[in-house]
Structures are given as structure tokens and as C-alpha cells.
Structure 1
Amino acid sequence: MKSVFFAALLALAGLLSPAMAQSDGDPLQQVLNENRELIVDASRRTVQGALDALLASELPEVPAFLQLWQAREIYVRDSDGLFVTVEDEDADPLTLIDLTTGEALGTATSREVTHLRPNRGVQNVIGASLVLFQLNAEDPAVRAGALAAIARTPDESHLPLIRERIEVEDDPDLRDQLEALLVRLTVAFAEDDETRVAAIESLAGSISVEARGILNPLLATTRAVAMELPEDRNIARVLTPGSDELPTDEAYGLLVSENLAPPRVTRAGIRDALIANIDDGFVAGVPVHTLDSDEARLAAYMTLAEAGTVPPPVTDEQAQVILNSHVFFETYREPSGAVTSAAVQTLDGINRTVGVYETVDLTLDGLSLASIYFLAAIGLAITFGVMGVINMAHGEFIMMGAYTGYVVQTLVPDYTLSIAIALPLAFAITFGAGVAMERSVIRFLYKRPLETLLATFGISIALQQIVRQVFGAQARPFTAPDWLAGSLDFNDVVSISYIRVAIFGLGVIFFILLWLILNKTRLGLEVRAVTQNPAMAASMGINPDRINMLTFGLGSGIAGIAGVAIGLFAQVTPELGTNYIVQSFMTVVVGGVGNIFGTLAGAGMIGFFQKGVEWLNPSNTLAAQTYMILFVILFIQFRPKGIIALKGRAAGD
């Protein structure tokens, strides 16, 4: 009988305290049940006790539980107090999932469980504790994710965590991130100004966007007005009403918004007041139909104001008196003057450094554009300078070079190898095309520049149409190899794409090669002889006709190579050449026809001028083209022979 009694008592204990039975085999459930009230009825003030107990347990399941709790995915089964999550919150009944094993524990209706819904304050406290786990994780990727989360939503509670982690972090990249984050959090949340100022001063010399992102919020200001300048505010500057920084209307509007002045009556306000006071076709004793002018409406309004029906209007003189009796100023949102002074000084130094680097970056951009123009124009400089031929089809030779690169790349999938093949092939094709054009058309039009211009313009249109018929009008892909992808980044301000670097290198190579050809070879000697005095050159056994043919072919071949280079970053279309023909002619004219040093100087001048205009007006690239043309027109008025004038036949022409 006694044994039956004890058995019944044990069974009753199991019914009354099933949660205790569950917790005996699950350490996590045991900790949760010991802190049940703090977890179920969590508030921002009391939740830290439960979190401290969970952290002290050092259980591996704690981070997962905190994530679920923060995401409002934790439930408590009412029958036994077991903490669980569910498989599908919208299902009915709910499938309960064990927090430790992830196994299904059966089902329950929404009435049989309590859903824990921590508010935003509790979620933030949980998040801070969760970050502690992630910052101390063995996996560097988890620690990096924790730092990214802190960077997105920094909080004062993160500051001691970052300080502690820096002492033990062994990954150099993560350590750099921690140090940068420590500065940011110190500036934002440190308690004493001395510590914040030291953190601000540590940013001196940095040009990173992050550094400026830390300092700029400290210098955010708001406008304010008072009878006299307050001594307890961190004043940024005093504003003068009527100046550009504070127009009179804005100043008076600020007074009105602070209830320091009555609002001024506008035309719309007068109209509305008169409409509201119409009585049997009259307003203030005046027939409505006579109120057909601003003067009449103002007179009627003044009558209503004298009667006290509407507020009297504020005259300009009265408004000025009110303005003069107040002081307007901008105040920093940051209350500490020491902090804002340090931020101003540090940011000024950063901005000066950034300005220097922006100048360097603009110089690199101008140099890059100049190298492109040089490549596009050097062939034209040879044909135009030596032969005096205005070749309007020069742009189409550039286009043919780009399409040569595209065709080769479709046949040779290796991008690097395809470019290596395309460069000499483009030269050969456009050299042959140039020789053919010179033999069939140009040779009959020497000394007839207008007819040469018209003929080559017609050839350019024909070449565009032929390419359009063969390849279509849509852009064709010509892809740079991986080693030309991306950019060479010197810092957060100065960078240049690898393709531009390669084009600059190609321009240097061609400049050297052409100088060697023209100055160190027999062909160059004959070209210079024909350029300076074709009759004398012919009497010395040089064939000017042959030299003209080879020269025209050489210029056309160089245009083809330029097309390969340009096609790597520009769209390969039938109209590709038209985008560079004008700049090519301007480069040659400004530099001095027939001289590679002049072409180099002209390309540099035009490239830097265009980039300078684009920097001054970045939203309008068309303006840069327009100003560049005007600049060239003005330049040749003062120096018609270009920067480096050529002596000889071309100079005489």
C-alpha cells in the first residue's frame, strides 16, 4: 500500500513539474527555466540578468537561442514551460522544434504556447550580447560579419566589446577593421571629450571616405534665432539676414516658425481672408466685383484689419525692425565645442590632402585622355602633315581596327592571345586599305584639298555602310583580358583603369617607334626629304609618289592599331570613328601638322583642357566638347601653325 502511494506521488510530481524533468537532461533548458521570468517578461532594464546567466553558462547553443529570441521566434509551451521554436508560424497547429536537437516535439495550438515578442529595446540588448559571441568566434568570417553588423548599426554597448577584441585579435585585416571601428565608436560614444578629441586627431592625414563619414556628422548644424547669442550653445557661425547664406525671407520665416514674429500676409492670404468675409456681395463695405486689382484687395483687407476682423499686415519696415532685434546663427548639433573644433581642424587638413590627390587624379585622367587622342591622331598627323591630305575617312580606319579585334576574338577565345594577334593584323588590314585608297583616289587629288575632303568624306560614309551591312548596327563585344580588368588604385581618391594604363603605354611605344622610324631609318629620311622639298628629293633619286603611298599606308595602319586599343573600352559600332575624327583633327592642328612632338603636345593640351572643363561642369559632357572647339578656334587665331610649327611643304601650304 505504501509503495503504491509513493508511485502515485512521483507521478504527480512529474505532472506538476515536467519542465524540471526536461531541464534535467538539457543544460540550455535548465538555464532558461532558472531565468524564466526575466526572459518571458523581458524589459530593457531587466533582460541583462537573463543574458548574463546565459553567457556565464558558456553553452554552445546560446548564440542560436539569442538569434531566435531576437528574431521573435521563441515560444514557451504552457503545459510544461519548455522553450521551443516552431516550424511554421502560420500553421495550425504549430509544430514544436527542440532548441538543442532540432527534432520535432509534437504539435500545439496557438492557445497552448506563449509567443515571446521582445520589444526593440530588448532586441538591441540581445543583439549586443550576440555580437560578443560572434566577435569571439573561431571563424574569421563570423567575426568579420559581426564587425559589419556593428558598422551598420553602431551602439554605445559595442565600444567595450571592440576594445576587448582588439587585444586578442590575430587576423591583421580584422585588426585594422577593429581599430577603424574603435575610432568611429569612440568619437560617437566616448564619455569624456579628451578621449573623443584624441580619436578625432588620430584621423589626421586619412583621406578615406570612412574618416570623412566620421567627422562630417559632428559638424552638422541647425539654424536658430534668439534675442541675443546664447552662451550655452555650441555656435558654428552667426548669420546676417539678407546675405546669400540667409535671405531675408528665410530669416523672417525662421522667426515665424519660432513664434517670434507674426506671419506676413501674402497675396493668397489676402484673397482667402476677403473670401471668408464676403457678406451679401460686399467685403468691408466694398462690392466684390470692384476688387479686381492688388491695390483694391489690399485696401479692403486693411479695412478689415482696422476693424479687428483679420490680423494687420506686417510692413517691410516693421519686418526689418523685428529682424534687427534678433540674432541668427547656426549651432552644431554636437554640444561639445572641443570636439567640433578638433573635427573642423582635422577635416580641413583632410580636405586639403584630398584636394591635392584630386588634382593628381585629374592629371591622370587628362594624361589618359591625351594618350587616347594621341593614338587616334598620330596616323592623321603623318598623312595630313606629310602629304597635306585631309582624310575624313581616318576615323573609319580606327573603326576597322576595332572590328578586326572583335573578329579575331570570336575566332580566338583567349582574350590576351586575340589582342596579340589583332594588333599586327589590324595594322596590316588598315595599311592595305590606306594604300588602296591612296592609289585609287588620293593620288589624283593632290593639291586639291576641297575635292580630297569631299572624296574621303564619301569613302567614310561608304565604309560605315559596308560595316553596317556585314556586322549590323548594334554594338559588338570586344572584351579586355582579366589582367586589364579593374583599376590601379593608389588610394580612395586616385585611381586609373588598367586599360587606360595600357593605352598610355601603347602611346609611348608608338611615339618612340615613330620617332625612330622618322629619324633613324632610310624611310624616315626619305619622308622628311619629301616633306621639306619634294622636287629636290626627286632630283636625288627619291620617288615622292612611292613615299606618299607608304606614308599614307603607315598612317592608316597606325589608326587601325589605335582602333584595337580604343575598342577595348568603347562600343564597337560602325560610328566608332566619328567619335574621334574631330578630336584627331583638332589635335593635329593645335600641335602642328606633320610633327609627332606637336601631335603629342596637342593631344596633351586638348586632353587636359577637356578634363578640366568636365571637372568644372561634370553634369554636362557636351559643354566640354563645345568649349574645347571654341578653345581650338581661339588658339589657332594666335598660333595658326600650331604649338610646334613644321618647316617645309606642309608649312608652306
Structure 2
Amino acid sequence: MFRFLLPLILAVLLVMPAAARAQGGMPLDAVLAEHRDQIEKPSRQTIGPVIDAIVETRDPAAAAMLQAWGDRVLGLNAADGRFYIIARQGDDWALTALDGTDAGTAPRGTVTELRPNAGVRELIAAALVEFTLTDPDPARRAQALDSIARSPSEAHIEPLRDAALTETDPVLKARIARLERLVTLQHAPLIADRIAAMEGFRGDISLDVRAALNPLLATTRKVATELPEGTNIAAVLTPGENLDEAEAYALLVSAGLAPPHMTTAEQKTALAANIVDGAVGGVPLAELASQAGRDRAWEALEAAGSVPAAATDAEVAEALSAHVFFDEYRQPNAEITAAARDTLDSIETKVALMQAADLGLDAVSLASIYFLAAIGLAITFGVMGVINMAHGEFIMMGAYTGYVVQLFIPDRTVSILIALPLAFAVTFLAGVAMERLVIRHLYKRPLETLLATFGISIALQQIAKNIFGTQARPLTAPAWLDGQLAFNDIVAISYIRVAIFVMAMIFLIFFLWLMKRTRLGLEVRAVTQNPSMAASMGIDPDRINMLTFGLGSGIAGIAGVAIGLFAKVTSELGSDYIVQSFMTVVVGGVGNIWGTLAGAALIGGLQKVIEWLNPANTLAAQTYMILFIILFIQFRPRGIIALRGRAAGD
């Protein structure tokens, strides 16, 4: 019986150390003692198993040891043969045990400072990932993911896969899974794993994915006598078609397959310098009138060593036809490049859709700005028929009001909340004063009204320059309007633009309520339709015109505060929007709020499309837009939504 049990007992005793080590049972001190010589003098080729053995101990001190080793603050104390975290303290080393306890000091000469090279430190950093990815602190796990994302390598793949199985935070778990696929895509040794990772990123428009895929499709332009076998060819090029002939021959020269090209003028100059007894290289001067004769003379001079080797036009053509030009993928595996191309194609399709969505979002944003700037003009122009060229200056006055408020109230949120009604009050009063003093005397005289308001516009600009100077003044948005609302890496809009859009919708609702649900709105509509009949019903048209002009001017002041949050507040601020405001009102339909909204949408969208087609020339975009509007008015002179009543009759 004992004879049968003895071999079994010996086998168990032999297997136990290995099993203990695999389960992390071997103490860290034992591992460090066993591999002390290798740790003291590490080599990238042999230190890997030692680092793995340290990690497998699962000892918390192992992480501290590896971190100190990688940071070059690990020392070996000759007195006891143990490793310590070291720090300079005068002429001695301050020692800290790997478990964090203070171990006193040691003379400088008794401690060997371990300074691993870059290759070993890279292996140590990879090993530390496993510790940090399983750290109890979510912030440290997130920092580990940031570190991997900055410099991913093949060594990170398995720790990431293991961490994905144990991670409990759903946000970090998703991030780990995505990062693992990204690292697999770039560094996995198996082609199937890399292709599977690419498939998982189909339609993913994130910049990091495109940054990982694009290098896989990088190419090198090459030339050879025939296409090499076993290479990953991206495209075959034909000189004169999809490859410039000069570029193709330069490639031949750089590859040492042809001499430099010589132009006809250079050839003639060199031949003239080698005329001897009425001939060049034995070719009579009379024969040099033809290109063939000049080429023979040049070849003779080349053979005699009188001129350096150079290719004539005929030799260039012959060399180009004798070689094949191609773009070769730097990634040698065709399956990987095919999968990368397929994934990038799907991404580019989605990117195009997202760019269209972003363009639409920009158009909506610009349309809301134009609508906010034009709504006051729509009221005065539509109801009163007054061409107010000073409307832009009311926008400017509103912006400066916001600036002045912020000089006295540093809190940005409070200052904006105060500036909005104050800007309305200031510009309302300015509009009422302008109507009482100037406009009321010029009704039914559009040309005189235009000239008068244009003069007022210039005067208001000069007054603003005298008060505030010519430099742009800051109108700072509250902190909660900083940044942007980002849907992905492509589609985003600033919070200020979102706020302006919301404000434009608020004013749309306010205007509809005012016109449909209030007595003032009823009287305004009555005066708009038939002022004589309205007067006979007890409505004072002069009072309504005054209030209407003041209301339109006040809304322009509020628009000025909103526009000033992202535009430069200068005396010319209003002139930047007056043309677009008039175009918005005219194209939409004079005196109709829905027409103004439609006009703003059309002009904002049209301007963004033209700028997208011609991004390098914004002046051209403005010109094309004006030409389009002129043509539009020729076919629909009353705008998108025509007004009925007095304005329609006029």
C-alpha cells in the first residue's frame, strides 16, 4: 500500500509550489529573493517572466514595488538583501518598506539604486495596468484608462479584457470595452481579432477610431520594372493619367533607376559649350537643328565623359513606359486593409450625414439670430410702412446697454437678467422719441423717411464712438452659457446659440400672444388693415404707430443684448445686421410674423449652404445670396407669405 501512495505524495508535493504561485500564494518576498539578480540587472528580453511572477503574487506591495521600480526610486539594500523605496536624505538614503512602513535610513554606499532602461520600464508600466484597472478607487481606474489611451500597446489587451469582466461601474465598463477594441484593432497579434474589432467600429464617427484606422491605409508610392508579388497594392498608377509624368520620373530618379531629366534648353546650352571644329561629339552643327541630332551629340558627349549622365525627352518617355508605378500599403496584410477601408467607408458615410446635420444646426442658429434681429423691423416696416435704416443702431444701443450694466453688476447672470428689460426700455424710449420727432412728419413719403433714418443711423454711430470709443467692448455671457452642446465629434452648437434660439421662440410666442390676445394687438391689426375705419371706431392711429414703433425698437434692443454675447460690441454692430434684417422681412413677407420666420430660415439656410460650397470667400457668399434674393423677389415680389390689407394694397 505504501509503495503505491509514495509516488502520489511526491507528485502532490512537487505540484503544490507551482499551484500556489499560479493562485498568487507565493509570497512577494520569496519572488523578489529568487529573482534578485535579474531585478538588479534587468534585460528586456528576460525580465518579462520575473515581472509576471511579481504580478501573480497579488500582493498590494507588488504594485508599490513596480511603481517605484519604474520611477527609478527602488533600491537594493546590501545589508539585508531587501528592496526598499528610496529617497535622498543628506548623505544617506531614507528607506521605505514596500508595504509603506518607515525603514529608517542607510548609508549611500550600501544601497544600489536600480535604474531600468526604457524597454524594461515599458514592461513595468504594462504590468502596473493590471493593478490600476482593479483599484477600488474609480478615479484611479479612470486614470489608468487615460494612460492606456495615450500610449496603447499589445500588453494592454489582456488586462483590459480581464478588467471588463470585473468592472462594476457601467460607465467605466463601457469605456473599458471600447478601449479594448481600439487597442485590439491596432496591436492584436491575430488578424481575426483585429478585423472583428474593426467590424465593431462600423459607423463610429469618433476621432480616435478614425485616427486608429487611417494609419492602416497609409501608402508608400513606389516604382519597379514589374508589380512585385506578395505585396499589398493599393493602386496602380499610370503616368499622364492618375500620376503626373514629372512626379513619376522624379520617383525613378530617387530610386536610382534613371538619370536626372534634362530640358531642351539645358541640353542646347551644354551642347553649345562643347563645340569643337564645327561639331559636337562628332555630330556636325547642321544636324543639331533636329532633336534627334542633339540627342546623338549628347550621347556621344556622355560616352566621352564630357557631360554628366542625363535623360533626354525620348529617354524619359522610354523609362516611364518601361516601369510600373504603384501605391503600396504600409500594412502588409490585405485582409486588414480591406476591413479598415470597409469600416472607414461606413464611417465616412455617417460623417457626411452628421456634417449635413451640423450644417442644418448652424443654419437654424443663424436663422434664429436673423429672426431676432428682424422681428422688430417686421413690426415697424409691416405695420407702419416705414423704412427705418436706423434699426441696426437700436440693436447696437441694446448691446451697449448690456455692456454698461455689466460695468456696475459683476455677476454675469444677474447683469444679463437686468440688461434685457433695461435694453428694451432704453430702445423703446429712443424709438418713441424718433417716431414723435421725425417719423410722424414723413408718413407716406418713403424716400424722405429712408434718407432721414439713414442720417439718424450715422449720427447714432458717431455718438456711440464718442462715448465708448472705437474699440470693441466685452459683453460677457454667464458661465453656464460657456461651452457647447455636443451630440458627437461633429455635431455641436454653442450654448449661447441655443439660448438665442430659445429667446427667438419666446419672442415669436410673445408676438403671437400680443397680436391675437390683447387689445393693443387688436388695434394694431385694425390700423394695419384699414387706418381710416380704425379711426372711425375710436382707435388713435398716431398712438398705435408710436407704440408700434417703440415696440419694434425695444425688441431690437433685446436682440442687441443677445447678439452682443457672441459678436463684437462696436458702433458698427447694427450695420452688420441691417441688410440681413431687411432681406429677412422682404423675402418672408412684409408685416407677417410667420413670413419673417420663413424668411429668416430661408436666408440663414441659404447663407450656410453657400458658405459651405465656397468656404474660402465669405464676401462671395454674401454676393450670391443677394443675387438669389433679387431673383426670388422677381418671381414672388410679396414674399413667401403675402400680407393682406393696407400693406398689400400699397
Match of 2:610 in 1: 613
Query: In the alignment, which of 380, 386, 389 is matched to residue 386 of structure 2?
Result: 389
5 Å-filtered alignment, 1:313-462, equals 313-411=310-408, 415-462=412-459
Match of 1:16 in 2: none
Does the 8 Å contact 1:86/1:95 carry over to 2? no
Cα deviation for residue 257 of structure 1 reads 2.3
- Structure 1 residues 240, 298: CA separation in 2 closer, same or farther (over 3 Å shift)? closer
Query: In the alignment, which of 216, 219, 222 is matched to residue 220 of structure 2?
Result: 222
The alignment partner of 2:372 has SS state of: helix
Residues 452-493 of structure 1: per-residue CA shift (max 9 Å, x gap): 333323323333344444445544444434544433333333
Residues 536-564 of structure 1: per-residue CA shift (max 9 Å, x gap): 55455543322321221121111112122
- Structure 1 residues 79, 268: CA separation in 2 closer, same or farther (over 3 Å shift)? farther
Structure 2: distance between partners of 1:268 and 1:178: 65
- Structure 1 residues 126, 521: CA separation in 2 closer, same or farther (over 3 Å shift)? closer
5 Å-filtered alignment, 1:6-405, equals 32-76=32-76, 83=83, 87=87, 94-100=91-97, 101=101, 105-108=105-108, 114-243=112-241, 245-265=242-262, 304-305=301-302, 307-405=304-402
Structure 1 window deviating more from structure 2 (48-57 vs 572-581): it is 48-57
Structure 1 window deviating more from structure 2 (211-220 vs 372-381): it is 211-220
Tell me the TM-score normalised to structure 1 length.
0.83
Cα deviation for residue 375 of structure 1 reads 0.7
Structure 1 window deviating more from structure 2 (495-504 vs 401-410): it is 401-410
Structure 1 window deviating more from structure 2 (351-360 vs 458-467): it is 458-467
Cα deviation for residue 438 of structure 1 reads 0.7
Letter in 1 for 2:372: L
Cα deviation for residue 53 of structure 1 reads 4.2
The alignment partner of 1:260 has SS state of: coil
Cα deviation for residue 371 of structure 1 reads 0.8
Residues paired across the two proteins, number: 612
Structure 2: distance between partners of 1:346 and 1:309: 58
Residues 10-34 of structure 1: per-residue CA shift (max 9 Å, x gap): xxxxxxxxxxxxxxxxx97775454
Letter in 2 for 1:182: E
Residues 71-130 of structure 1: per-residue CA shift (max 9 Å, x gap): 334455678766566645xx9x75422142466625537xx7655332222121121122
The alignment partner of 1:137 has SS state of: coil
Cα deviation for residue 410 of structure 1 reads 5.0
Match of 2:483 in 1: 486
The alignment partner of 1:330 has SS state of: strand
- Structure 1 residues 46, 271: CA separation in 2 closer, same or farther (over 3 Å shift)? farther
Structure 2: distance between partners of 1:465 and 1:64: 70
Does residue 547 of the first structure (1) align with residue 540 of the second (2)? no
Residues 548-606 of structure 1: per-residue CA shift (max 9 Å, x gap): 21221121111112122223333333332222122112212222322222211211111
Letter in 1 for 2:132: Q
Does residue 500 of the first structure (1) align with residue 497 of the second (2)? yes
Letter in 2 for 1:382: I
Match of 1:4 in 2: none
Does the 8 Å contact 1:591/1:642 carry over to 2? yes
- Structure 1 residues 323, 369: CA separation in 2 closer, same or farther (over 3 Å shift)? same
- Structure 1 residues 266, 171: CA separation in 2 closer, same or farther (over 3 Å shift)? farther
Does the 8 Å contact 1:38/1:49 carry over to 2? no
Structure 1 window deviating more from structure 2 (557-566 vs 483-492): it is 483-492
Structure 2: distance between partners of 1:520 and 1:302: 98
Cα deviation for residue 370 of structure 1 reads 0.3
5 Å-filtered alignment, 1:514-553, equals 514-535=511-532, 537-538=534-535, 541-553=538-550
Structure 1: distance between partners of 2:41 and 2:268: 59
Structure 1: distance between partners of 2:92 and 2:40: 20
Letter in 2 for 1:67: Q
Does the 8 Å contact 2:260/2:309 carry over to 1? no
The alignment partner of 1:584 has SS state of: helix
Letter in 2 for 1:47: I
Does the 8 Å contact 2:202/2:346 carry over to 1? yes
Residues 389-440 of structure 1: per-residue CA shift (max 9 Å, x gap): 2222211211222233344455555544544443333222211110101111
Residues 42-81 of structure 1: per-residue CA shift (max 9 Å, x gap): 1111212432443344443433332332233445567876
The alignment partner of 2:328 has SS state of: strand
The alignment partner of 1:328 has SS state of: strand
Structure 1 window deviating more from structure 2 (371-380 vs 637-646): it is 637-646
Structure 2: distance between partners of 1:312 and 1:211: 49
**Structure 1: runs of 5 or more not aligned:** 1-26, 286-293
Query: In the alignment, which of 586, 599, 604 is matched to residue 601 of structure 2?
Result: 604
Does the 8 Å contact 2:262/2:312 carry over to 1? no
Cα deviation for residue 180 of structure 1 reads 0.9
The alignment partner of 1:398 has SS state of: helix
Structure 1 window deviating more from structure 2 (424-433 vs 531-540): it is 531-540
Match of 1:23 in 2: none
5 Å-filtered alignment, 1:530-609, equals 530-535=527-532, 537-538=534-535, 541-609=538-606
Letter in 2 for 1:200: M
Residues 275-325 of structure 1: per-residue CA shift (max 9 Å, x gap): 99999xxx999xxxxxxxx9xx99996774353333443233332232223
Letter in 1 for 2:624: Y
Cα deviation for residue 611 of structure 1 reads 1.3
Does the 8 Å contact 1:85/1:96 carry over to 2? no
Letter in 1 for 2:584: T
CA RMSD of aligned residues (A): 3.7
Match of 1:291 in 2: none
- Structure 1 residues 284, 534: CA separation in 2 closer, same or farther (over 3 Å shift)? farther
Structure 2: distance between partners of 1:39 and 1:568: 62
Letter in 2 for 1:41: K
- Structure 1 residues 432, 40: CA separation in 2 closer, same or farther (over 3 Å shift)? same
- Structure 1 residues 241, 95: CA separation in 2 closer, same or farther (over 3 Å shift)? farther
Structure 1 window deviating more from structure 2 (27-36 vs 346-355): it is 27-36
The alignment partner of 1:313 has SS state of: coil
The alignment partner of 2:154 has SS state of: coil
Structure 1: distance between partners of 2:297 and 2:607: 61
The alignment partner of 1:157 has SS state of: helix
Letter in 2 for 1:227: T
Structure 1 window deviating more from structure 2 (436-445 vs 269-278): it is 269-278
Structure 1: distance between partners of 2:81 and 2:552: 88
The alignment partner of 1:374 has SS state of: helix
Structure 1 window deviating more from structure 2 (569-578 vs 361-370): it is 569-578
Structure 1: distance between partners of 2:427 and 2:443: 21
